[in-house]
A and B are shown apart, each in its own frame.
Chain A
Amino acid sequence: MSASHSFLKDLDYSVVQQCMHCGLCLPTCPTYTATHLERNSPRGRISLVRAIADGRLDVARPFGEEMYFCLGCLACMSACPAGVNYADIFEHARAEAEASGVLKSPKRNFIRWLTVKWLFMDLRRLRLLARMIRLYQWLGLQTLLRSSGVLRLLPERLRGLEAMTPTIPPKFSAELIAPVTPAIGPKRYRVAMLVGCAQDIIFSEINRDTVEVLARNGCEVVTPPNQCCCGSLHAHNGEWALAQKLARQTIDQFPPSEFDAIISNAGGCGSHLKHYAKLLADDPAYIERAHQWDAKLKDVHEWLIQIGIRPVPADHAPPQVVTYHESCHLSHGQKITAQPRQLLQAIPNLTLVELPESNWCCGSAGIYNITQPEMANKLLERKMRNIKSTGAVIVANGNSGCLLQLINGARLHNVPVRVTHPVTLLAEAYRRADQKKGSVL
């Protein structure tokens, strides 16, 4: 990317102009609500983008910082009466901030290189790192270090990060899921299942449950090992070229013509995965497949409701009170709000209690909880307060980033809830019914 290239001047001006600055986004924006400053609001940020596109403002550090203070939760897109594509503006703006280099510092450069450009470009590296962390946790080193107080010697930010380290389960997705899982009963569909990057490692059991639920609903599920990252992380962090590279790799691995649907079970990834055609618009070799891909990409809740969930026989399991926290990119990004609730309500003996502010960001927002811990913690605290108010014993959520954030939140704020994916609850219900019948999967 040449230094003179401007992502914002390339951005279709009518996208920016579509904002009529009515202000209806303000009350839904977590950062504006916290600060009451227009600059921290969607319309304020759009006005800065427009000023740059007009040549009234230079890209400088405050602009870059502002675009990274934005969570990218897209709540504004649900509120916007004029249908402004804020996601597009936001990604262009972050790309501009990266290309201009206004945020560069040795430490930031190193961290970005390590994560965005190295670890997540080849997931074998990420899995290796996860194995090392797993060893650290298994050998009891983590418990030892945490209780010894040695960690207090670390700088505050690193200490915070250490506390957020997720527990790495014994097996990753490929060790739990066969490359092809046959449909249980008559085969109705052939689908591909994307295991994700962090999800593959940290929530491998949710992936297994997803495959199981799909199979129980007549889907043959193709889940090859060694999948790559979908590039969502890269696109949201201003690395377009890398995002394009990963999109091509993903399409190559899952030729869309071979499947009835391509399933994602992480709201954040799905929101990005559905827009490969836009990302690859200038690539004649891929554009046709990218359009096909976008049409076939389905969030797991969306797909299950679309094909009809096989009824779960009633059982005598103790009633569970469940509340549902919406992943921003599932609800605002993909507009999938009813389906996860319908899925949960298909489970016998499950009472769904609405979570106040259920579509308000939990502060996870990709890697926001690492880059902007202060704001992220405020949002987490607000989320945990709301969860507590429901009296639920289970919080269901359809995105790995939020799941991690909520697990940490429950621990930090002493809220005794189990945090899991709706699909896991459905898989458990099927299994309970099987046990009752005495049959085995």
Chain B
Amino acid sequence: MSSLENLLGKLRQAVGTDQVLTALEDLIPYSFDGTAALRQMPGCVVFAQTTDQVAAVLKLANETKTPVVTRGTGTGLSGGSLPIPDSIVLCTAKMDRVLEVDQKNLTLLAEAGTTTQAVADAAGAVNLFYPPDPGSMKISTIGGNVAENSGGLRGLKYGVTRNYVMGMEAVLPQGEVMWLGNKCVKDVAGFSLKDLFVGSEGTLGVITRVLLKLIPKPAAKRTMLATYNRMDQAAETISAIIAAQIIPCTLEFLDRTTIGCVEDYVHIGLPLDCEALLLMETDGHPAVVAEEAERMVKICREHGCREVRIAKDEDEANQLASARRTAFSALARVGPTTILEDATVPRSELAPMIRFIQSVAVNYKLRIGTFGHMGDGNLHPTFLTDERNHAEMERVEKAMKEIFSEALRLGGTITGEHGVGVAKKRFLPQALGETSIRVMRELRRALDPNGILNPGKMFD
């Protein structure tokens, strides 16, 4: 703490006295992010309002070898912005301006602390579309989305945050400011460093501005809901839709536990004895949408769905979508502690993976509700538990380990969209192998020789 105390005066000079928080009552609310059961007190919280201030803070931290944890609004689900003891939490939430919407080049430039919602709204205001829609988009920051390479419900058709990053401004630990990328659709000059920074989880530099790609808004959308007696029928439906060369914008799935919790919570008349529910949406040109919707309904029936409904209008579409939209809330209400995971497998392995998760729940006497993005293989096994029940938490730990091992065995990954941070750190070597980890470690050291940026996160 002593090195930090010497630093505080200089930090206050750099960003202003009232932009440095040190009181206990001010720090406790920054001692966690959106990740369950993780808590750590920082040394101080510093708000930067300009790139120059970020540079000044990093320089001071680097000189004194003080760890820096960059934080947007703290909605991450892997502990990426969880403080490190005696660290500076560098908060970008006050850098929240949309700087430019370029309708000629279809790009948007925003400061890192701009919320994802504000980005989507600014694009929508000129009839353009920013597709990535992580669950926390109303408050998550675009800088955090880029640093974590966030996903969302539209991954299958529209991809994830990475697919929309054209450039960024980032500050290195020594205080140097760097521009990466530009508005060109094609650019092969040098290494694509912007791609290295996407998903770097605050370990390589601090992202201060982001240049995003926008696309035209789809003109029409159709929403469908299908229920299945057996999981395999739902999984086969997905495979058949893809094989029929239809790329729906939404292909979401709820398992039996989740369906039960949703029905308990919102009472919308879901059948409690079915094993799977699919929410499907197709968007694009009205004629194509109508034809695709018809074909999807047919495929559902051919694969033994119990019932399939197609929304007549927007109201009914919202009603159908509410089953999926409320899934997480419905699960979160069941137990005091909700742990949301994101094991991901190739689409072809979805049915075995879901069955495996269910068997793990039985073996370890746990409640696990699974829902997720069936179209892109990204599942959300959600543990409904109580962090004060240590015996149960130990079983959760073991169950998770088995689930991740199985995901890897099936050719999948330990995290589809939440990131590694602290939560998945111990599983990373198994997922990537020695060589990958070594290369990443060397890259990290090259950019951050003093190891001040988010130390202890992702890998040591």
Contact = CB atoms under 8 A, between A and B. Distances in A.
Given A21-B32, A48-B25, A81-B329, A26 B336 contact: no
Given A21-B34, A27-B115, 11 more contacts: A17-B336, A17-B387, A22-B34, A23-B75, A24-B136, A24-B139, A27-B138, A39-B29, A45-B29, A47-B31, A57-B28
Nearest to B76: A23
A51 interface: yes
Interface in A21-53: 21-24, 26-27, 36-39, 41, 43-45, 47-48, 51
7 contacts: A14-B336, A23-B34, A23-B139, A24-B138, A24-B139, A39-B29, A63-B25
> In the complex, which of the residues B34, B93, B139 has the most CB atoms of chain A within 10 Å of its own CB atom?
B139
Interface in B31-77: 31-34, 36, 47, 73-75
B198 to A, nearest CB: 22
B25 A39 contact: yes
Contacts, number: 82
Interface string A375-386: 000000000000
> In the complex, which of the residues A47, A81, A83 has the most CB atoms of chain B within 10 Å of its own CB atom?
A81
A23 B136 contact: yes
Given A26-B139, A41-B29, A82-B329, A20 B74 contact: no
Contacts of A47: 28-29, 31-32
Interface size classification for chain A = 20 to 34
A66 interface: yes
Contacts of B74: 21, 23, 38
Contact of B28 (A20, A23, A24, A56): A56
Contacts of B328: 81
Interface string B119-162: 00000000000000000101110000000000000000000000
A39 B140 CA distance: 17
Interface in A48-70: 48, 51, 56-57, 60, 62-63, 66
Q: Give 4 nearest A-B pairs by CB, closest first.
A: A44-B29, A38-B29, A81-B329, A82-B332
B387 A82 contact: no
Contacts of A82: 329, 332-333, 338
B442 interface: no
A292 interface: no
A82 B334 CA distance: 9
A18 B75 contact: no
Nearest to A23: B75
B257 interface: no
B316 interface: no
Given A41-B29, A44-B29, A57-B24, A26 B36 contact: no
Interface string B91-115: 0011000000000000000000001
A154 B329 CA distance: 52
A66 B28 CA distance: 13
A38 B30 contact: yes
A37 B46 CA distance: 11
A20 B338 contact: yes
A27 B332 CA distance: 20
B163 interface: no
B337 interface: yes
Contacts of A43: 29
B25 A66 contact: yes
Contacts of A83: 329, 332-333
Contacts of A18: 333, 336
A172 B314 CA distance: 49
Contacts of A41: 29
B99 to A, nearest CB: 18
Interface in B310-346: 328-329, 332-333, 336-338
B188 interface: no
A75 to B, nearest CB: 13
B450 interface: no
Contacts of B338: 20, 82
A63 B26 CA distance: 10
Contacts of A14: 336, 386
